[in-house]
Amino acid sequence: MPHTALLDLSIEAGNAILDVYGSAFGSESKADGSPVTVADEAAEKIILAGLSDLFPSVPVVAEEAVEAGNLPQAASRYFLVDPLDGTKEFIARNGEFTVNIALIDAGVPVFGVVYAPALGEIYWGGALPEDLCGEASPTTGAFAGSVADGEIGEVRSIAVRAVPAEGLTVLASRSHLSPETSALIEKLTVAEMVSVGSSLKLCWVAAAKADFYPRLAPTMQWDIGAGDAVLRAAGGEVLVAETRAPLSYEVKPGAVKADLLNPFFLAMSTPSILENI
């Protein structure tokens, strides 16, 4: 089935990342100052080849390709790929990095898979359009599974939780916590603050491990598209911080990398979290 092929593809890319993770590797700085390693490049090569075989008619917007100046005219439907989200976490060897593949349709992340190879965790949610895969996708909710030896083991359905009476569990970026984000968090009733890297933050809200992930610092579409799909499928929301409208994804004709910068956003289990902000 097409959605399982995307899970397999993320695991294949994750295996390539782990091969590098277990070696003595170096890193370079991209034009924007962010790091890149051979693991990013190896994983993206695998994903691009796999998506070309599976869905040859669908454009792919992938981080390292865009960095190299290859941003396709994606129209309203495209795959959005971050082959290694959390490169700083990868370099720090803390395991908090992910492979991200999302399908965007008319500005909405309708399906996403997030795989954390070093942790053996995989999350996915949403549904692939029937006209794209030739059959109705059986994936209509959000799911989490464990991965060992390249195989998905126990799978469970996940959903966001109600806000705990004792207060929120708030997630913050391990590498990119801004003063604006800290100031927002201070306005909330917080029981616990947890720092974690990569798109795992969105998945942890989806899996009822946390309640709120505010991001008042720069991110790119590919950083969060797959996790956004998982969170929405689990019953949560990702809203633009300024307008409180759902975050939208698009690649307009003539777009360049800077056009894929996200507005500040708030990812949450329920909008009721925002009532006193």
93 CB-contact burial (10 Å; exposed 0-12 / middle 13-18 / buried 19+)? exposed
149 assigned ligand-binding residue = no
Q: Which amino acid is at 45?
A: K
CA angle 150, 159, 93 (to 5 degrees): 40
8 annotated binding-site participant = no
Distance CA 249, CA 270 (A): 21
Is 37 known to sit in a ligand binding site?
Answer: no
85 is in an annotated binding site: yes
* Both structure tokens of 36: 């890149």
The answer to whether 105 is annotated as binding is no
The answer on whether 63 is annotated among ligand-binding residues is yes
Sign of CA dihedral 46, 47, 48, 51: positive
Return all residues near 49 (Cβ < 8 A) that are at least 6 apart: none
40 is in an annotated binding site: no
Question: Residues marked as binding for substrate?
Answer: 63, 84-87, 223
The annotated binding site for Mg(2+) is made up of 63, 82, 84-85, 223
For the annotated binding site, the residues are 63, 82, 84-87, 223
